[in-house]
Structure 1
Amino acid sequence: MFNRKQLCLWVLLALSSFSASADEGMWLPMLLKQLNEADMQKKGMRLSAEDIYSINKSSLKDAIVQFGGGCTGEIISNQGLLLTNHHCGYGQIQSHSSVENDYLTNGFWAMTRQEEKPNPGLSATFIVRMEDVTKQILGDVPAGLPEAEREKLVQANIKKVQAQTTTGTHYEAIIRPFFYGNEYYMYVTETFKDIRLVGAPPESIGKFGGDTDNWMWPRHTGDFALFRIYAGPDNKPAAYSPDNKPYVPKHHLPISLAGIQQGDFTMVFGFPGRTTEYLPSQAVREIAEVSDPAKVKIRTVKLGILDQDMKADPKVRIQYAAKYASVSNAHKKWIGEMRGLKKLDAIAKKQALERQFSQWVAQETGRKNTYGQVLGQFEQNYAQLGQNLTLGRDYYMEAVLGVELLNYAQNFVRLADLLQTNGSAADVQALTKRLQESAPGFFKNYNLPTDKKVFAALMELYAKDLDPSLHPAAFGVVAKNHKGNWAAFADNLYANTNLVSEQKVQNLLQLDPAALKAKLTADPAIMLMFNFMAIYQSQILPKYTQLTDQNTLLNRTYLQGLREMQKDKKFYPDANSTLRVSFGQVDTYKPVDGVTYDYYTTLEGIMEKEDPSIPDYKVPAKLKELYQKKDYGPYGVNGKMPVAFIASNHTTGGNSGSPVINARGELIGTNFDRNWEGTMSDIMYDPDRVRNISMDARYFLFIVDKFAGAGHLVKEMTLVNNGPQTPAPSASKKQPELKIKKNKKNTKIKVEAE
């Protein structure tokens, strides 16, 4: 007999066997016609799959770019104007900032094309087309081949297909595994590398709420930045040149002034980074009970130190602004993920599915031969990973590499190794040159006293939390010479290393090979990092890699079995930084018992949160003035200025900056976050609580036009108002409609609220 909890889980599994949960999934654009078009249109979409993804005509995909490799951006004018998140462009804004010209604090707006700022190394990548290349990649791969040999053959086939596709063109081809390597798809891409900063609001708008509000709803953040793509005279990618011209896109997104209502169809188009929706229960347990807690513990300590030093010194605040944001982002996400998995009882749900799978396997001899050992092998592998391997890897990545000095020392360890093993003169010269060239950039954003505090704190954690077999020999010095005082150990090490100032590094790298080798092998920071690397590479990485490779094969087989068992279910592949579509609707949610969150926020909420004593809640004087005068131009609604909204789209990291598109293919917002209660959606989606958070497009326009006075940028955009998508569910939820009045030339737009 089942107890009540088990019965509920079985019912849930039975109901979910036929299709993905409502609004769940990150779908391949080229497969929308066969898998999703009908469902999307039932939800209110007025487009066809061909309107979204086409290789025969311009389509929505031609306005979407992968921005900088880790975010998404969208083209919003016929002059290459690109919209993304403020936090996606944060590194570029910081790189142009100084104490004298603090664009982080004050914002930046290019009033002419000549003022737009180049960003070496920044790129924007379009998808030209997609193709299923599974047969070409796996056609000659024998079944049962060991994973390492299989991967070698797969990689050879990938290189062959890529060469056949791109030879003689300026395109590139990315081929990625899907469903753990059961399928392979190719993305043919076009990458532009002359990307210039056009505009960014001050942090008090672009990061309003800061780390306090990060991952939270309600939200009031104007999280956007504007860039422009430049091209050569033929409108193709070209290296930076003052003579380059703004890129003319195949498609740019019109921006809707009609706003949003509860129940409206929403589509997010972008490059989600990584999800793991099909993990076994043992993997979910390891994440929720071992890995996430360890990483949160380490980052909590590091963030406390950075926060203290940044508040004490404006220079340190600028140096560490982007670093702090990066460390904090995942830290808070992992906390929400742990809570969400626990609340969903995710481990028990995975176990219930595995019991169902085991019963299905037991019904046929063929299934037993193919799938019979999978779940038992998972159990064995994760038990072995729990023996120092997972924690050892996490502490190496977070505590060791979380110290800037040790992270920086890695390449010096490699240089010392080349010198000791008589590496080629060319290799030594190349690495030396790279270190010389990178030193100014590293030390521009490096503060020795801050890093020293981080070192002492994280090394103490490493020593306390990991088995002594994973300790470097230098840790013995702490007890022997410093009486367990990690700060004293740090003082000694930082005083005697050459890697804590640009001048010392440059002087070091000017030495002849023999003298350089002697200096490197005597440097305490380099030798400490050498010991850490040796431990990691000998005691952690080989076994960890072996077990994770085995788990990849097991996941491939397990997922193949699940798809065979649940033939009527539409399976979407895990995110892997390739172009995807997710769809849902504007909706409220209940985070906890007795609380329901509305689906939108307004400028009024910013004023309610204002607290000059808290950096996250400072409000610019100009914004307050506009609020007091209700000077919202055509972007406000009935005396209110919309700021952000939530919907049920399935998103993850990499979707930052993704356009939120309405039923008619118009931009209504820019995705910038998820709600904290929904961060477990990378592992398990919950339609009742998972919400993506987006900046309302009207707030973006308001800030550019009324706050920044950069109306010339708005004039190059296409603003439309085609009315509401769906009837409001109740009069209390309905926002006033907007009417557009155009002049005879059909160029000027005036918007009035009814």
Structure 2
Amino acid sequence: MRNLVAAALVFSSGLAFADEGQWQPYQMPSIADKLKARGIDIPAEQLADLTRHPMNAVVGLGYCTASFVSPQGLVVTNHHCAYKAIQYNSSKEKNYLADGFLATSMDKEPSAGPNERLYVTEAVTDVSAKVTDGLPLEPLERVEAIESRQKAIIKECESDDNYRCAVRSFHNGLEYYLIKQLMIRDVRLVYAPPESVGSYGGDIDNYEYPRHSGDFTFLRAYVGKDGKPADFSESNIPYQPKSFLKVNASGVKAGDGVFVAGYPGSTSRYRLTTELEFASNWLYPTDAKRFQSRIDTIEAMGAENAELAIKYAGTVAGMANRMKKLNGLLDGFKATDITAIKRKQEQEFMAWYASHGDAKQMDELKALIIESQQQYQTNYYFVNAQSSDLLGAANSLYRLAKEKQKPDAEREQGYQERDLKMFADKLKRIDKSFDVRVDKVLWQADIESYLAQPNRVAVLDEQLNLSDSAALGSKLDSLYGATSLIDQATRLGWMDKSPAEFEQSSDPFIKLAVALYDTRMAQEKAEKTLDGKLSIARPAMMKAIIAFNKDKGLPVYPDANGTLRITYGMVDGYQSRDALYKQPFTKLDGIVAKHTGVEPFNAPQKVLDAIKAGNLGSHKVDDLYPDARSFICKLFSCLDKPEAFGSVPVNFLSSVDTTGGNSGSPVFNGKGELVGLNFDSTYEAITKDWFFNPEITRAIHVDIRYILWMMDKVDNAQNLLSEMDLVRN
């Protein structure tokens, strides 16, 4: 029957056109016809307006996306996005990672951590002319002028301390936009399923499909009694957002149009072939090897110490996700030969460019890219050889002391007065994800990798006496044994000390940071000088690439850069390989079928019991594939029984164009109602960071009906359901 369902879906769906593009909201009116063709009825002009629903309900976490779903500041995002908040509140006695967490009332909602933030984008303004007009040509002066202008624009924007502003580069420096965001500083944990739900299938299923992950968690935004953002306080009250999303409990079906709003991190679709080859041949394999080694080390140590495992759970999860993505990119490059595709595209562009541009500019850009790659490779192992959390803190603290000698406007970004609160919170957070034993072993491994390659730095070798590598372990033991930076109060105290006090310190990590400072600054200067050269070459080439794409009628949108974007598509499966069609929905039945009782396929007993009892309630869907069933039942009348198709949908696929940072993004139906959460991509689609292939590019979403079923029938989160505005078709 499965093959018949797949055949029917092939007949009833299929992509009429490529749903490519991570569009800036202001661009929505320019693609209104494409939205309409996908069945998205909400006006494009409304999506372009960040002060109106639903865009003002979409929020950033700084690394993921979330959305308001109640008038009391309730926020939903992915479980893996809230992982560190769950870990922050976990202990051996109360392991919320393993057991899940539900606050049955607001007074039981704990802080998600001192540096957790919610960012509500309220305005995006084109400031290209302010940043780029009349820039000097000398490379270092140029990049410093760009930074200076960005800081001046940001300072003017942040006249109200409740806002966080940033000036971001688009199209490789061709354009600059000012992003103004309300920053909510009191974020609390509300409800998280156990990891055996939130990450069901673990790393084995990561980037795979079919998938059965309940990757969702609820947080809440709190503010002071005056309604303005404030630091954590028991007297704070829930934030009342300007709008929140209606939740459509009927969900979606195959062929429905959907759109996603969120903060995709980074793509490289306009990069040159030589950059793809560098990533494929050196960068990705090198990073993946390092991540795997670090994961293996932490997991081995964590297997013998539960408290240590909890402390590093978020770190391991982040590295595992990144490592599998890197391996997926490498596999995808081979399977689809993305390099050949990019090379062909580049040849087409160069043929056009021959009569529209200056070939010398392309040669100059390629030379600068090669120089940049060589610079990165030269510094790579030296940077990793400073990977200790304590050395990282010491480096940052000494840099802060040096920067504080300058007027605030001249300080490096990250060390200005506006940054000090988050700087301190980062120092505090170390306690929850740090253990001397793990830090030392990981650092030693990075130093040994540094020792095995030729790009050595004399000052590091001298300070750690690396000429005697056999004694490295005991040398590091002495550093950790003599430092006081393990103590949080001591770390915070160094924020107020002068450079002279650092230079007179006997703390071994402080001494090492002081000794490395000049070398680190020289490397930073060299990097900025090269950035200055690229700030001329890349925008010029990007301008030509945009003109080329417009001539061909291709979509023109900026590469992802962590700013708010909208992408659209449809609920649809795909042909993953010969004779294997992957249907767009998975169901509860798949959880039971995969269950082994052994991690990561160890579904909680309460979930299995609810499924076995048929306790599905109103969340059950009798007909996930109505068109397919109609087709099948014309052939086999005996199958014309809706109950034969009924279950609760768990995950679903769509053709929306997403990448890292879109995790937790709300998935909307055509009316702008919440129908799911984006959390992953299929393995075949990972290469979309470089090339969008509409035939196989699919994003994976948690179905809202599974979230509601978990809340209603498994975890009894009725207090939260009563807050939400649930609607049905």
Q: Could you state the TM-score of these two structures normalised by the residue count of structure 2?
A: 0.84
- Percent identity (aligned): 30
Equivalent residue, structure 2, for 1:292: 284
8 Å contact 1:78–1:252 — kept in the other structure?
yes
* More deviation, 512-521/125-134: 512-521
Indicate whether 1:557 and 2:558 are aligned. no
Name the SS for the 1:189 alignment partner. strand
Cα distance in 2 between the residues matched to 1:220 and 1:402: 35
Measured after TM superposition, the shift of residue 279 of structure 1 is: 0.7
Q: Rate the CA distance shift 1:168–1:308 in 2: closer, same or farther, 3 A.
A: closer
Q: Look up the match of 2:435.
A: 447
Alignment partner, residue 85 of structure 1? 78
Greater CA drift, 343-352 or 38-47: 343-352
1:448–1:500: 8 Å Cα contact kept in structure 2? no
Q: How does 1:701-716 map to 2 (within 5 A)?
A: 701-716=708-723
Question: Is the aligned partner of 1:129 residue 2:123?
Answer: yes
Partner of 2:620: 636
Shift of 1:591: 3.4
Any residues of structure 2 matched to 1:114-125 within 5 Å, and which? 114-119=107-112, 120-125=114-119
CA distance in 1, matches of 2:421, 2:26: 44
Query: Among 385, 388, 391, which residue is 1:400 paired with?
Result: 385
What is residue 677 of structure 2 aligned with on the other side? 670
Corresponding residue for residue 306 of structure 2: 314
Shift of 1:265: 1.0
> Residue 134 of structure 2 aligns to a residue in which SS?
coil
Q: Paired residue for 2:452?
A: 464
**Which of 588, 591, 614 matches 1:603?**
588
In the alignment, the residues of structure 2 paired with residue 89 and residue 592 of structure 1 have an alpha-carbon distance, to the nearest angstrom, of: 34
Summarize deviations over 1:495-529 as a string: whole Å, max 9, x none. Answer: 5x42574399689989x999976884573x55556
Deviations 1:442-467 (A, max 9, x none): 34432222233223322222222343
Shift of the 630–532 alpha-carbon distance from structure 1 to 2, 3 Å rule, reads: farther
Residue 40 of structure 1 corresponds to 35
Deviation at 1:304, TM superposition (A): 0.7
Q: Return the letter of the residue paired with 2:44.
A: A
Match of 2:408 in 1: none
Counterpart for residue 254 of structure 1? 246
2:370 to 383, 407, 431: 383
Cα distance in 1 for residues equivalent to 2:115 and 2:31:
37
1:363 match: secondary structure? coil
* Counterpart position of 1:582: 567
- Between the aligned partners of 1:442 and 1:696, the Cα distance in structure 2 is 35
Aligned partner letter, 2:313: A
In structure 2, the residue matched to 1:424 is none
Q: Distance in 2 between matches of 1:331 and 1:702?
A: 32
**Contact kept? 1:457, 1:486, Cα under 8 Å:** no
Higher mean alpha-carbon deviation, 167-176 vs 127-136, is at 167-176
Matched residue SS, 2:608:
helix
Aligned length: 678
> Aligned pair in 2 of structure 1 residues 174, 680: CA closer, same or farther (>3 Å)?
same
Aligned-partner Cα distance in 2 for 1:508–1:376: 51
Return the offset for 1:94.
Answer: 1.6
The answer for the alignment partner of 2:668 in structure 1 is 661
| Deviation at residue 309 of structure 1 after TM alignment | 1.1
Q: Specify the alignment match of 1:52 in structure 2.
A: 47
Relative to 1, partners in 2 of residues 1:518 and 1:254: Cα closer, same or farther, differing over 3 Å? Answer: closer
Hey, what does 2:626 align to over in structure 1? none
Structure 1 pair 413–76 and aligned structure 2 pair: CA distance change class (3 A): closer
Report the CA distance between 1:547 and its aligned residue: 3.1
Q: Counterparts in 2 of 1:538-549, with a 5 A limit?
A: 538=522, 540-549=523-532
Q: What is the aligned counterpart of 2:237 among 230, 245, 250?
A: 245
Q: Secondary structure at the match of 1:220?
A: coil
Aligned to 1:24: 20
- Structure 1 letter corresponding to 2:70: S
2:67 counterpart letter in structure 1: E
Q: Is the 8 A contact 1:291 1:390 kept in 2?
A: no
- Whether 2:209 is the aligned partner of 1:223: answer no
Distance 2:332 2:422 in 1: 44
Shift of 1:65: 0.8
Name whichever of 188-197 and 325-334 sits farther off.
Answer: 188-197
Structure 1 residue 649 displacement after superposition: 1.2
* Structure 2: distance between partners of 1:654 and 1:434: 20
* Whole-Å separation in 2 of the counterparts to 1:666 and 1:79: 18
Residue by residue over 1:581-602, the C-alpha shift from the partner in whole angstroms, topping out at 9 and shown as x without a partner, is: 0111112223344433221212
Q: What amino acid maps onto 2:77 in structure 1?
A: T
1:75-105 CA-partner distances (Å, limit 9, x unpaired): 1122221111112112222222222222221
What secondary structure is seen at the aligned counterpart in 2 of 1:590?
strand
The 1-side partners of 2:589 and 2:727 are apart by 25
Greater Cα offset, 525-534 or 237-246:
525-534
The match for 1:197 is 189
The one-letter code of the counterpart of 1:60 is P
TM-score norm. by structure 1 comes to 0.81
1:110: how far off?
Answer: 1.1
Deviations 1:545-583 (A, max 9, x none): 433442343221111011223333331011122111011
Query: Does residue 93 of structure 2 align to residue 105 of structure 1?
Result: no
Question: Tell me, what secondary structure is at the counterpart of 1:375?
Answer: helix
SS of residue matched to 1:65: strand
Q: Report the equivalent of 1:566.
A: 549
Seen in structure 2, the aligned counterparts of structure 1 residues 134 and 474 have a Cα distance that, compared at 3 Å, is closer
The structural deviation recorded for 1:697 is: 0.6
Q: Residue 55 of structure 2: which of 61, 64, 77 is its match? A: 61
Contact 2:116 2:187 in 1 (8 A): yes
The letter for the 2-side match of 1:473 is: D
Opposite residue 612 of structure 2, the aligned amino acid is Q
What does the per-residue CA deviation read over 1:673-703, in whole Å, with 9 as the maximum and x for residues that have no partner? 2222222222222222222111111111111
- Residues 211 and 552 from structure 1, CA distance in 2 versus in 1: closer, same or farther, beyond 3 angstroms? farther
- CA change 1:312–1:683 in 2 (3 A) is same
Structure 1, unpaired ranges of 5+: 1-19, 420-429, 723-754
Distance 1:210 1:442 in 2: 26
Is the aligned partner of 1:75 residue 2:58? Answer: no
Task: After TM superposition, give the deviation of residue 269 of structure 1 in Å.
Answer: 0.4
C-alpha contact 1:291 1:394 (8 A) present in aligned 2: no
Closer/same/farther in 2, CA of residues 171 and 405 from structure 1, 3 Å limit? closer
With over 3 angstroms needed to count, the CA separation of the structure-2 counterparts of 1:594 and 1:228, relative to structure 1, is same
Q: Would you say the 8 A contact 2:192–2:218 is kept in 1?
A: yes
**Residues 335-367 of structure 1: per-residue CA shift (max 9 Å, x gap):** 112222333333333333333333333326xx3
Counting only pairs closer than 5 Å after superposition, residues 126-525 of structure 1 correspond to structure 2 as 126-138=120-132, 140-141=133-134, 145-159=137-151, 161-162=153-154, 167=159, 171-233=163-225, 235-363=227-355, 367-368=357-358, 372-387=359-374, 389-397=375-383, 399-411=384-396, 441-468=429-456, 472-474=460-462, 477=465, 480=468, 482=470, 487=473, 490-491=476-477, 494-495=480-481, 497-498=482-483, 501-502=486-487, 520=505, 523=508
Structure 2 gap segments, 5+ residues each: 1-15, 405-416, 623-645
Measure, in 2, the Cα distance between the counterparts of 1:443 and 1:161: 35
Q: Is the 8 A contact 2:424 2:492 kept in 1?
A: no
RMSD (Å) for aligned C-alpha atoms: 3.7
